[in-house]
Chains A and B, each alone.
Chain A
Amino acid sequence: KQEVTQIPAALSVPEGENLVLNCSFTDSAIYNLQWFRQDPGKGLTSLLLIQSSQREQTSGRLNASLDKSSGRSTLYIAASQPGDSATYLCAVRPGANSKLTFGKGITLSVRP
C-alpha cells in the first residue's frame, strides 16, 4: 500500500529564503506526482505535475523534482514571500487510472 510522508509538518522561515519541501513515497512505481497548495479552510490549488518519466518541472519561483528510484520528490521555492504561507501537499498516482494518495502536508509560514 502506497504511503506518502512529508516531514517536517511545519516550517517557519524569514522572507527571502530559498527553501526545499520534501515528500517521500514507499512504492516507486508511480505514474505521476502532483504538488498542491492549500490555504487555511480552502481548496487545493495545483502547483506542479511531474510525470514518472520526468525529472523536474518549473513554474515561476517553484521547481519540483522527482527521483522515483529513491521514492522522493522535492518542491523548491525560491526567494520566499509572506504570500507563500500555506500548506503544501504532495500526492502520488500509482497508475494511470488510480486515485491520488496524499501526504499530510507541510505548513509553511514565511515571516516578513
Chain B
Amino acid sequence: EPEVTQTPSHQVTQMGQEVILRCVPISNHLYFYWYRQILGQKVEFLVSFYNNEISEKSEIFDDQFSVERPDGSNFTLKIRSTKLEDSAMYFCASTMFVGAYGYTFGSGTRLTVV
C-alpha cells in the first residue's frame, strides 16, 4: 500500500536553529498537510497546501514557519528559528481529493529543541 514517507524520524536541534522536515507524499495525491502533536496533547492542524500554494493555515503557523514543494515529490516544513515550545511530533499527510477520501499520514518526525 502506498505510504507517506517522512525524514528524519527524530531530530534534535538547538534553540534558534533552523530545521527542515521532509515528506514524500503519495505520488498521485494533490493535497498536502502538516499537523503536529505536542506530547500528551491533541493532534493539531498547521497548514494545507494545494496547487503550489498554501490553502489554509492555523494561528500556530506564524512567520517562523514555511512550506515548500521544491520538486514533484518532496514537501517540506521549515522552522526558521526554533523555540523550546516547537518540540513536538510533526506529521505530514496527503490526500487525493478533498472530502470523499481520507487522509494518509506519515510516521512523523519527532523534533526536540534543546
- Interface, chain A (partner B; CB < 8 A): 31-32, 34, 36, 41-46, 49, 51, 89, 91, 93, 95-105
Contacts and interface: CB of A to CB of B under 8 A. Distances in A.
Contact of A43 (B55, B91, B98): B91
Contacts of A36: 105
A58 B58 CA distance: 33
Interface residues of B, number: 27
Contact of A51 (B41, B42, B89, B100): B100
B25 interface: no
Interface of B: 6, 33, 35, 41-45, 48, 55-56, 58, 89, 91, 93, 98-108, 110
B104 A46 contact: yes
Given A91-B43, A104-B41, A42 B108 contact: yes
A57 to B, nearest CB: 11
Contacts of A91: 43
Contacts of A95: 99
A43 B105 contact: yes
Contact of B102 (A49, A98, A103): A49
Contacts, number: 58
A32 B106 CA distance: 20
Given A99-B33, A102-B43, A43 B103 contact: no
A89 B45 contact: no
B38 to A, nearest CB: 11
Contact of A46 (B56, B102, B108): B102
B45 A99 contact: yes
B107 A42 contact: yes
Nearest to B102: A49
A104 B44 CA distance: 10
Contacts of A97: 55-56, 98-99
Given A89-B43, A102-B44, A103-B42, A43 B102 contact: no
A100 B105 CA distance: 12
B103 A100 contact: yes
Nearest to A52: B99
Nearest to B45: A99
